[in-house]
Amino acid sequence: MDSVTNALMQEFVESNLLSDLSIDKQFEHFTAYSIVSSHYADEFETVELVAGDGQDLNVDAFAVKINGRIANDADFVDDVLEMNGFLEVEFIIIQAKSSSSFDGSAIIALGDNLVNEVFSQSQKLKYNNDIKRLIDIKDRIYKNASKLKANPVCRVYYACTGNWADDPYLEAIFERKRQELVNTNLFSEVRFEPIGARQIQSLYRATKTSISREVIFDKLITLPKIRDVSASYLGILPVTEFLKLLTNENGDIVKSIFIDNVRDFQGENDVNKDIEKTIIDELYDQFVLRNNGITIVARNIRVTSSQYILEDYQIVNGCQTSHVIFNNKNKIHGELFVPIKLIHTTKEDVAQSIIKSTNKQTNIEENDLLALTQFQRDLEDYYSNQIEEIKLYYERRAKQYATNNNIEKGRIVTIGGQLKCFSSMFIDLPHQASRYQGTLLKTVQSRVFQSNHKPEPYFISALALYRFEIAIRKLNSDERDIRPFKYFLLLAFRVRYENVDFQGAANKNINNYCAQLLPYLMNTAEAKKVFDECVLIVREALQLLNLPVARDSAKSKPLVDKVKEVAASRRPQQVSGD
């Protein structure tokens, strides 16, 4: 491995606490992170993508994107269908070898196993639990083929630390295996590509930069000066230029630019069908009149003549219109303009008020604005004021800390991650933590992120998960079967170590309640003792219910009650005086 690739990999390994792994396994995690990040802008854990050793069918890592989110199991498909009513799917398959050469026989074996095993209706070879999860997700997707907007996209990568030199023999192998996948008729598009050291370096470096795009914007007016706004504009943007803002170099839609939008794409509802009909009927001249337009907030805008460079920008209103345009981009054969409101501000207050105001002009439930409340900002401030030993970073905006090399990645807590650990530890829902985020939020929306909640229990739940993640990674391979139950460990910790029952995040005594739990998590050594006991609690609960230590058992509602029962029985007996 060359020194540059090794240096970048070690930076990633240290940031993600993967130093205990072998070099080969580190490279698999590093490569998976670099490649998948080029297709997926949100945070994810490579431990959920990298397959276990042995019986892996030559698949070292995989990600299945469904409606822009990474699926962690087959039930995720059902959750997405319940929320959206349709499926858009992309398979990302990776084989990563730390050797410095491209191995033709390994490439052939990967292609053969994908065609004859992974994407076959039946499997002849044995495979491990991670590959079983991939196959189960695949089967559930094709079982719901009628709900697919189009056949899935399949991207296959063979990565190594050498340099790709356009070898004709290897090129022929890649093309032959790609065509065999095409011939299955399962996919709308197939790519089977080599990835060398320079490409991996480039992909990894791209994960550490904020998004920036240059567009030609010659039909606009500059608005009068507004307090706390550096500049603002109204105008229309040609659809070809607008698509530059929506897509990455792979042609995928960039989901991270919609993080500050209050809703994800709602699919084929009446409003979106009407927008789509304007395009299909080629009423391009009427599009700008029929559409309320797109609101873009950028932290920096650089202007040269009619060229505008937007840096760290968000589409805060217009998510639906943007997705309809993207989904129908190949049907646009004429001149179509998109109405744009472009705002340059670094003031968070201004940005949040713009988001709320522009979105409340449409029919949006107040609960959709959860992520934009004062509570979220207060929670971020609470995180930032913790002492170094327990320092975590609350990420309200996508890639907020991406360029800071000094922050250990595990210490970054996203809104979605906070939702999962708080719901697991304090709302007794660890069995739902792996669900589609929109489904989980719909279940708990009246019980999380409320204006009268105190930040302490949110922080405690995230700190416990951080400490337990470290402990899980230090387990030997035989013991890591507890990983799917990590959210149950949070529940076990709370019930076992609380000295009074949890009375809610708004309770006036919640500060004291959390202060009593905090000493158990102050450092790695103390947390390891707690973790070990919580693991015993969960294993005992599984045994009492005759449930296997397997991923499917982590969705068991009876397991929630049994973990609480076992955890409570391990509390020290209270001694009362005469």
CA-CA distance, 566 to 497, in Å (whole number)? 12
pLDDT at 368: 39
Q: Which residues, 6 or more positions from 282, have their beta carbon under 8 angstroms from its beta carbon? A: 333, 334
User: Per-residue confidence of the chain (578 residues) as pLDDT tens digits?
Assistant: 889 999 999 999 988 888 888 999 999 999 999 999 988 877 788 999 999 888 999 999 999 999 888 999 999 999 999 888 899 999 999 999 999 889 999 999 999 999 999 999 999 999 999 999 999 999 999 999 999 989 999 999 999 999 998 899 999 999 999 999 999 999 999 999 999 999 999 899 888 776 789 999 888 888 888 888 888 899 999 999 999 998 887 788 877 777 655 455 666 677 788 888 888 888 888 888 888 788 998 888 988 888 999 988 888 888 888 998 998 888 888 889 999 999 998 776 676 667 666 554 444 333 334 445 678 888 999 999 999 999 999 987 666 776 676 788 889 998 889 999 999 999 999 999 988 877 888 888 889 999 899 999 999 999 999 999 999 988 887 888 899 999 999 999 999 999 999 999 999 999 999 999 999 999 999 999 999 999 999 999 999 999 999 888 999 999 999 999 999 999 887 544 44
Rounded-to-integer distance, Cα 276 and Cα 50, Å:
38
Pairwise CA distance, residues 350 & 243, whole Å: 26
Q: Exposed, middle or buried: residue 168 (CB in 10 Å: 0-12, 13-18, 19+)?
A: exposed
User: What integer pLDDT is reported at residue 155 of this predicted model?
Assistant: 96
The segment(s) of the chain belonging to CATH 3.40.91 are 3-206
- Helices and strands in the chain: count of H runs, count of E runs: 20, 13
This prediction's pTM? 0.76
Pairing between strand 412-414 and 89-97?
Answer: unpaired
Which residue shows structure tokens 């069908």? 273
Rounded to 10 degrees, what is the CA torsion of 422, 428, 429, 430? 80
Q: 3-206, what's its fold? A: Restriction Endonuclease (3.40.91)
Question: Which sign does the torsion angle of CA 447, 452, 455, 460 carry?
Answer: negative
What is the three-class DSSP state of 39?
coil
Note whether 466 and 414 are within 8 A (CB): no
What φ, ψ does residue 154 adopt, rounded to 5°? -125, 120
**Other CB atoms closer than 10 Å to residue 295's CB: what's the count?**
21
Task: Give whole-number Cα distances, 88 to 72, 179, 276, 442, in Å.
Answer: 15, 22, 17, 21
The answer to whether residues 286 and 292 touch, using CB atoms and an 8 Å cutoff, is no
In this predicted model, what pLDDT tens digit does every residue of 29-73 receive, in sequence order? 999 999 999 888 777 889 999 998 889 999 999 999 998 889 999
Compute the distance between CA of residue 100 and CA of residue 144 in angstroms, rounded to an integer: 41
CA-to-CA dists, residue 464 to 391, 488, 489, 523, 532, angstroms: 12, 12, 9, 11, 13
Residue 254 sits at the vertex; the CA angle it makes with 50 and 144, to the nearest 5 degrees, is 65
Comparing C-alpha atoms, which of 172, 55, 162 is closest to residue 108?
Answer: 172
Write out pLDDT tens, residues 73-115. 999 999 999 888 899 999 999 999 999 889 999 999 999 999 9
The predicted pLDDT at position 576 comes to: 46
